[in-house]
């Protein structure tokens, strides 16, 4: 980008990718988050990708301790965090080494030479200082001692060297804000608020921010970097904010509970990357939310089932390994036909796998992963903003059909931020939950189904509706224990048909049209890269459409016919081909897999290549 700008000084690019990389103690996620905010406020579209180690304080300076935050922003629609950065900010040698390969040729590297000491070079396994050989020749390098400049900038505040260096990230942010002509005021406001009780720390950070900004101006005069202004994107009019997937899921659950007119009970257990939902909801008690940090994953779901039984909206949330632990309890919720929302923030597996990296490999677990014939509806969200609507949809299905519902999100969506047009709650369709208040027959029939196949919801404490439920097979209508062969057949059928009968909107086409040479079918967080790649291909005149499925189970009724209207179906997934198998099984279509399990999202280039390959 720097070279681009230098070569064609009159034009600015329509999108730029910046990656901040440093030690996990360097505050890269904070820097990225604040840069994101300023970018959103400047009216750019954007997408982010925080990429951090599983270790809280990984040994300083090591390769595995590198924490990075990538943002793609522009004056056009942005659908992914970007394949390759134009700008890499490397706060230490390890940050440089880990991220260098991704950088675009000709891109700009900003380096803090203060951290390129013998000790840090050794830790990053550099035999030779890359600043002193020609290994960085194909990039523009802006190397200077950010550490020393920061110490200098915060000197008036009397901090020790160690504390002073903590402001390094703000110094760097100041420089980045200058590069893209951003307003510093919102960041200053945020710093003042964050360090309310320690105003001297706030002042030091603001001084560092201003010093970084001033340095940009000076450096521009000297030549190596240019300021550029990425124009705002033309967006639908309205009120906007940035939102992460974890926030959006939490807000969607709160909105869903309000639409169902129910208090919400959230039972959770700490696990990456799902904990953020527990943290968000814990601060929303005024919305009738109870949060309960249980002793384990099983207790988390069981307490939520107990709350649903008692008449609240039970919600639990976890990630792959925790979801596995909840499996038996999900069966109980299926058997007792109680509403429940289970949020699965997927991560790399199996076992502990890659706690902080993203994957979509829990699809089988979501659809099939329980003992017995244990069907439950599964919905998936495709972006942080989409997570809000999907969470409401999960609550609607759970309470309307008296069933547990799994909401699939993933580590990428949970942590990524995007601009979000704030919806107006008055436009939401309410779906108030109903409770049985008196006997629904001569005797009470707790398992008498309505037209949708749902049984009545009966709160304990309701006068004279005493009854017993449990995990043992229930007799049709009465719900008494019943092991009879015909009864088990009838109840199995009833459970399966209830879920298959969940009303699901017809599948829409995200880009392109019905029929043609190729459909690229995705679900979940692959939306962004697929959308961009399909757009690219269509601009080149290729006959390809993008279909993105939210309702994973049951699938939309028209999906089979829709898929059969294309010559080829390509299913990109961050797993070994799970949705591909489901589509083949359900529709007998020759769906072809495109799989990736590196813990990283698809790049647009990977999908461009696959689309061109499929059409060759």
Partner 1 sequence: MNEMTKIETTLKDWETDQEVRWCPGCGDYAILKAVQRTLPQLGADPSNTCFISGIGCSSRFPYYMETYGFHTIHGRAPAVATGVKLANPDLDIWLVTGDGDGLSIGGNHMMHVLRRNVNMQIMLFNNEIYGLTKGQSSPTSREGTKSPSTPIGSYDHPVNPCAFALGSGARFIGRGFDVSKNLPDVLKAAHAHQGAAFIEIFQNCIVYNKDVFNDFAAPKGAGDRQLWLKHGEPMLFGDPKTGFDKGITLDRSTLTLKVVDATEENWEEAGVLVHDQTDRNLAHMLIEMPFGPFPMALGVLYDDPRPTFETAVIEERAKSAAGKEANLAKLLAKGQTWTVEANEGHPTD
Q: Kindly state whether residue 452 participates in binding partner 1, applying the rule CB under 8 A.
A: no
CA nearest to 363, candidates 563, 506, 577: 577
Q: Kindly state whether residue 439 participates in binding partner 1, applying the rule CB under 8 A.
A: no
Q: Which residues from 214-253 bind partner 1, rule CB under 8 A?
A: 231-242, 251
Q: Kindly state whether residue 416 participates in binding partner 1, applying the rule CB under 8 A.
A: no
Contact, 31 vs 173, CB < 8 A? Answer: yes
Of residues 157 and 447, the one with the C-beta less far from partner 1: 447
Our measurement of the distance from residue 492's CA atom to the centroid of its chain's CA atoms, rounded to an integer in Å, reads 35
Q: What is the per-residue burial (b if ≥16 Cβ within 10 Å, else e) of 322-346? A: bbbbbbebbbbbbbbbbbbbbbbbb
- For tokens 């829709």, the residue is 562
Least spacing, CB of residue 41 vs partner 1, in Å: 5
- Residues in the interface with partner 1 (CB under 8 A) total 81
- Sole binder of partner 1 in the list 328, 373, 482, 543 (CB under 8 A): 328
Of residues 123 and 280, the one with the C-beta less far from partner 1: 280
Q: Which residues from 110-149 bind partner 1, rule CB under 8 A?
A: none
Q: Kindly state whether residue 422 participates in binding partner 1, applying the rule CB under 8 A.
A: yes
- Sole binder of partner 1 in the list 52, 157, 178, 292 (CB under 8 A): 292
Q: Which residues have CB under 8 Å from 380's CB, separation 6+?
A: 390, 407, 408, 409, 523, 524, 549, 550, 552
Distance CA 133, CA 102 (A): 20
Q: Which residues from 364-393 bind partner 1, rule CB under 8 A?
A: none
Number of residues assigned to the chain: 616
- Sole binder of partner 1 in the list 105, 463, 485, 541 (CB under 8 A): 463
Q: Kindly state whether residue 254 participates in binding partner 1, applying the rule CB under 8 A.
A: yes
- Sole binder of partner 1 in the list 267, 375, 385, 411 (CB under 8 A): 267
Contact, 465 vs 488, CB < 8 A? Answer: no
Distance CA 165, CA 374 (A): 55
Kindly indicate which of the ranges 110-118, 262-270, 510-518, 573-581 contains the residues binding partner 1, using the contact rule CB under 8 A: 262-270
Q: Kindly state whether residue 461 participates in binding partner 1, applying the rule CB under 8 A.
A: yes
3-state secondary structure 19-77: EEEEECCCCHHHHHHHHHHHHHHCCCEEEEEEECCCCCCCCCCCHHHEEEEEEEEECCC
Least spacing, CB of residue 394 vs partner 1, in Å: 17
- Sole binder of partner 1 in the list 106, 224, 306, 599 (CB under 8 A): 306
Q: Which residues have CB under 8 Å from 595's CB, separation 6+?
A: 572, 573, 574, 575, 576, 577
CA nearest to 70, candidates 38, 112, 106, 102: 102
Residue 582: asked if its preceding bond is cis (omega within 30°), the reply is no
Build a one-symbol-per-residue string for 467-486: x at contacts with partner 1 by CB under 8 A, - elsewhere: xxxxxx-------xx-----
Least spacing, CB of residue 301 vs partner 1, in Å: 8
Kindly indicate which of the ranges 174-182, 283-291, 517-525, 601-609 contains the residues binding partner 1, using the contact rule CB under 8 A: 283-291
Q: Which residues from 307-326 bind partner 1, rule CB under 8 A?
A: 307-312, 314
Q: Which residues from 38-97 bind partner 1, rule CB under 8 A?
A: 40-41, 43, 75-76
């Amino acid at each position: 980008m720097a070279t681009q700008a230098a070569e064609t000084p009159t034009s600015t690019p329509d999108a730029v990718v910046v990656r901040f990389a440093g030690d996990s103690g360097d505050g890269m996620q904070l820097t990225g988050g604040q840069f994101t905010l300023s970018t959103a406020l400047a009216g750019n579209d954007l997408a982010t990708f925080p990429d951090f180690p599983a270790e809280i304080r990984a040994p300083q300076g090591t390769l595995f301790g590198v924490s990075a935050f990538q943002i793609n922003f522009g004056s056009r629609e942005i659908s992914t965090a970007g394949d390759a950065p134009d700008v890499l900010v490397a706060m230490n040698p390890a940050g440089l080494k880990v991220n260098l390969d991704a950088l675009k040729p000709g891109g700009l590297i900003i380096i803090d030479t203060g951290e390129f000491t013998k000790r840090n070079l050794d830790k990053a396994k550099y035999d030779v200082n890359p600043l002193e050989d020609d290994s960085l020749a194909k990039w523009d390098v802006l190397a200077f001692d950010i550490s020393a400049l920061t110490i200098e900038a915060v000197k008036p505040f009397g901090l020790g060297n160690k504390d002073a260096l903590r402001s390094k990230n703000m110094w760097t942010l100041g420089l980045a804000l200058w590069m893209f002509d951003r307003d510093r005021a919102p960041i200053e406001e945020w710093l003042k608020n964050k360090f309310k009780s320690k105003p001297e720390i706030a002042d030091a950070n603001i001084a560092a921010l201003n010093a970084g900004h001033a340095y940009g101006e000076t450096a521009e005069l000297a030549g190596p970097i240019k300021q550029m202004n990425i124009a705002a994107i033309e967006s639908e009019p309205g009120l906007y904010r940035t939102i992460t997937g974890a926030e959006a899921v939490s807000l969607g659950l709160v909105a869903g509970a309000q639409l169902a007119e129910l208090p919400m009970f959230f039972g959770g257990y700490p696990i990456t990357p799902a904990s953020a939902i527990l943290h968000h909801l814990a601060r929303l008690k005024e919305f009738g939310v109870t949060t309960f940090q249980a002793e384990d994953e099983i207790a988390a779901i069981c307490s939520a089932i107990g709350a649903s039984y008692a008449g609240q909206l039970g919600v639990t949330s976890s990630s792959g390994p925790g979801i596995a632990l909840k499996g038996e309890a999900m069966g109980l919720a299926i058997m007792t036909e109680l509403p429940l929302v289970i949020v699965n923030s997927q991560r790399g597996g199996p076992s502990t796998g890659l706690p902080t990296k993203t994957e979509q490999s829990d699809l089988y677990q979501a659809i099939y992963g329980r003992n017995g014939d244990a069907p439950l509806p599964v919905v998936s969200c495709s972006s942080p903003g989409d997570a809000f609507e999907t969470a409401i949809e999960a609550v609607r299905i759970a309470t309307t059909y008296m069933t547990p519902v799994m909401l699939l999100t993933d580590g990428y969506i949970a942590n990524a931020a995007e601009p979000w047009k704030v919806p107006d709650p008055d436009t939401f369709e309410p779906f108030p939950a109903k409770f049985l208040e008196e006997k629904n027959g001569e005797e009470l029939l707790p398992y008498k189904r309505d037209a949708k196949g749902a049984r009545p919801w009966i709160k304990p404490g309701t006068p004279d509706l005493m009854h017993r439920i449990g995990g043992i097979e229930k007799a049709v209508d009465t719900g008494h224990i019943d092991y009879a062969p015909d009864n088990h057949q009838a109840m199995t059928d009833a459970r399966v048909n209830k879920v298959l009968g969940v009303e699901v909107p017809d599948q829409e086409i995200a880009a392109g049209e019905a029929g043609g040479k190729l459909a690229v079918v995705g679900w979940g967080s692959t939306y962004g890269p697929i959308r961009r790649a399909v757009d690219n291909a269509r601009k080149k005149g290729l006959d390809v459409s993008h279909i993105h499925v939210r309702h994973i189970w049951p699938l939309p009724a028209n999906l089979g016919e829709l898929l059969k209207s294309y010559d080829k179906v390509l299913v990109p997934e961050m797993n070994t081909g799970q949705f591909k198998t489901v589509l083949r099984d359900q529709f007998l279509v020759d769906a072809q897999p495109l799989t990736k399990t590196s813990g990283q999202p698809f790049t647009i280039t990977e999908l461009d290549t696959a689309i061109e390959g499929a059409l060759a």
